[in-house]
């Protein structure tokens, strides 16, 4: 029954169509390639990194703060660790954790939104007012307050971001659910006596997915920035683990002389976020999830 629904929804497009649009837009294509490259860096870190042990944190005091050279392409940090290797290892938390954050935010947010939109009435009212409360905080400020409450670290920062991010997906899912409720296939399911739970799970939720996926791509960039920011402040990844945001903060005091320590990890964050934003922009043009807000 969901396949019938596909044709009714403007937001539903085939993956082939998506691929065609991306292939035609040079910026989106480059972005996709950049993202794939960084994912490969993260996965193959032990193979690619010139100094894998330093990438993971082992220090090398004799080569402290060496400028970029043939031996250390991007130079070394205060503790003599190869910056390139640390950036390559840093791609792991920088990509994997934000993806996890967005995934969990969707897993919490989307079903709640589908439930609110489908049920309407007091259920809708209760869920949506709850999202209002969370959205009343600037997200990063709420995340900071949460880490203050549960402690710092990569995992804690991730939890904090999930808690401040899920309401956005609730809003989108609710918007879709409200528009689906009146559709024939949902009414047909109701008429044949399918239970509400099954209707939400089988018919509503799958149809909320494509606008949510688009929003998630756009959000990934923002979440990477937020994670970087938390690490920069000292609330995320703790040393000696490799993390781009943390690396920037480690080199901050040396920025005028040993500029390479902070600027290369900074560029890494910037490039990845830019890639996600460009790709998200193209995807949004295809799906336009705003129509549901």
Enumerate binding residues for other proteins (CB under 8 A): 129, 132-134, 136-142, 144-150, 221, 225, 228-229, 232-235, 245, 248-249, 252, 255-256, 259, 262-263, 266-267, 269-270, 273-274, 277-278, 281
For residues 75 and 258, the answer to whether their CB atoms sit within 8 Å is yes
**Residue (43 or 233) nearer to other proteins, CB:** 233
For residues 114 and 208, the answer to whether their CB atoms sit within 8 Å is yes
**Residue (174 or 203) nearer to other proteins, CB:** 174
The helix/strand/coil state of 288 is: coil
Question: Measured between alpha carbons, how far is 279 from 220 in angstroms, rounded to an integer?
Answer: 11
**Residue (47 or 256) nearer to other proteins, CB:** 256
Question: Measured between alpha carbons, how far is 227 from 246 in angstroms, rounded to an integer?
Answer: 10
Q: Min. distance of Cβ 228 from other proteins in angstroms?
A: 6
Question: Measured between alpha carbons, how far is 55 from 57 in angstroms, rounded to an integer?
Answer: 6
Q: Min. distance of Cβ 195 from other proteins in angstroms?
A: 32
Question: Measured between alpha carbons, how far is 33 from 142 in angstroms, rounded to an integer?
Answer: 34
**Residue (115 or 275) nearer to other proteins, CB:** 275
What is the DSSP secondary structure assignment for residue 234, as one 8-state letter? T
Q: Min. distance of Cβ 133 from other proteins in angstroms?
A: 4
**Residue (87 or 248) nearer to other proteins, CB:** 248
Question: Measured between alpha carbons, how far is 202 from 41 in angstroms, rounded to an integer?
Answer: 37
Q: Min. distance of Cβ 26 from other proteins in angstroms?
A: 11
Q: Min. distance of Cβ 212 from other proteins in angstroms?
A: 20
């Amino acid at each position: 029954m969901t396949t019938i629904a596909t044709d009714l929804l403007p937001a539903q497009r085939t993956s082939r169509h998506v691929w065609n649009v991306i292939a035609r837009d040079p910026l989106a294509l480059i972005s996709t390639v950049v993202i794939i490259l960084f994912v490969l860096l993260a996965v193959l870190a032990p193979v690619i990194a010139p100094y894998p042990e330093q990438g993971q944190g082992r220090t090398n005091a004799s080569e402290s703060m060496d400028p970029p050279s043939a031996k250390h392409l991007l130079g070394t940090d205060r503790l003599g660790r190869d910056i390139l290797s640390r950036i390559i290892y840093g791609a792991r938390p920088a990509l994997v954790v934000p993806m996890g954050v967005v995934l969990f935010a969707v897993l919490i947010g989307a079903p709640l939104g589908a439930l609110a939109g489908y049920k309407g009435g007091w259920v809708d009212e209760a869920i949506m007012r709850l999202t209002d409360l969370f959205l009343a905080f600037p997200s990063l400020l709420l995340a900071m307050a949460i880490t203050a409450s549960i402690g710092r670290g990569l995992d804690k920062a991730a939890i904090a971001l999930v808690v401040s991010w899920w309401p956005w997906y609730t809003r989108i899912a609710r918007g879709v659910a409200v528009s689906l409720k009146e559709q024939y296939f949902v009414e047909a399911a109701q008429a044949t006596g399918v239970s509400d739970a099954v209707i939400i799970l089988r018919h509503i939720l799958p149809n909320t997915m494509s606008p949510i996926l688009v929003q998630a791509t756009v959000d990934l960039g923002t979440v990477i920035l937020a994670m970087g920011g938390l690490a920069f402040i000292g609330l995320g990844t703790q040393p000696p683990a490799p993390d781009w945001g943390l690396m920037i903060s480690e080199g901050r005091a040396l920025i005028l002389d040993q500029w390479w320590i902070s600027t290369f990890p900074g560029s890494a964050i910037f490039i990845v976020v830019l890639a996600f934003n460009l790709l998200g922009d193209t995807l949004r043009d295809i799906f336009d999830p705003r129509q549901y807000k």
